[in-house]
Amino acid sequence: MNNWLKKDLKYIWHPYTQMKDCESTPPILIERAKGMKLYDNKGNIFFDTISSWWCNVHGHNHHKIKSAIKKQLNSLDHIMFAGFTHKPAILLAEKLISITPRCLNKIFFSDNGSTAVETALKISFQYWQNIRKYEKKKFISLDYGYHGDTIGAMSVSGVDLFNEIFSSLFFSSFKVPSPYCYRCPVGKKRDACEIDCIQPLEELLREKKQEIAAIVIEPLLLAAGGMIVYPKEYLEKVAILAKKHDVHLIIDEIATGFGRTGKMFAIEYVNIQPDFLCLSKGITSGTLPLAVTLTTDEVYNTFYDDYNKKKMFYHGHTYTANPLSCAAALASLEIFEEEKTIDKIKNLIPVFHKGMEKFRSLPSIGDVRYIGMVGAIELVKDKKTKIPFTFEERIGMKVYKEGLKNGLILRPLGNIIYLYLPLCIKKNEMSAVIEKTFNIIVHLNYLKN
Ligand SMILES: *Cc1c(COP(=O)(O)O)cnc(C)c1O
Q: Give yes or no for residue 449 having a pLDDT over 80.
A: no
**In this predicted structure, what is the pLDDT of residue 162?**
76
| Ligand 1, atom 6, residue with closest C-alpha | 113
List the domains of the chain with CATH numbers.
3-58+340-443 (3.90.1150.10), 66-338 (3.40.640.10)
Q: Give yes or no for residue 308 having a pLDDT over 90.
A: no
| Ligand 1, atom 8, residue with closest C-alpha | 113
**In this predicted structure, what is the pLDDT of residue 307?**
81
* Measured distance CA(169)–CA(253) in Å, rounded: 25
* This model's pTM is above 0.95: yes
Residue with the larger pLDDT of the pair 53 and 311: 53
Burial string for 153-190 (b: 16+ CB within 10 Å, else e) reads bbbbbbeeeebeeeeeebeebbbbbbbbbebbbeeeee
Strand pairing report for 212-217 and 174-176: unpaired
For ligand 1, the distance from its centroid to the CA atom of residue 93, given in whole angstroms, is 20
Active site residue 196: no
**Among 111, 252, 275, 367, the one annotated catalytic:** 252
Q: What is the pLDDT of residues 229-259, one digit of tens each?
A: 999 999 999 999 999 999 999 999 999 999 9
Question: For residues 293 and 107, is the Cβ–Cβ distance under 8 A?
Answer: yes
Distance of CA 232 to the CA centre of its chain: 17
CB of 256 sitting under 6 A from ligand 1: no
* Measured distance CA(404)–CA(436) in Å, rounded: 11
For ligand 1, the distance from its centroid to the CA atom of residue 327, given in whole angstroms, is 21
Confidence of residue 160 (pLDDT cuts 50, 70, 90): confident
Q: What is the pLDDT of residues 5-37, one digit of tens each?
A: 999 999 999 999 999 999 988 999 999 999 999
* Measured distance CA(228)–CA(144) in Å, rounded: 8
For ligand 1, the distance from its centroid to the CA atom of residue 428, given in whole angstroms, is 30
Nearest residue to 64 via CA among 327, 303, 279: 327
**Among 281, 319, 420, 436, the one annotated catalytic:** 281
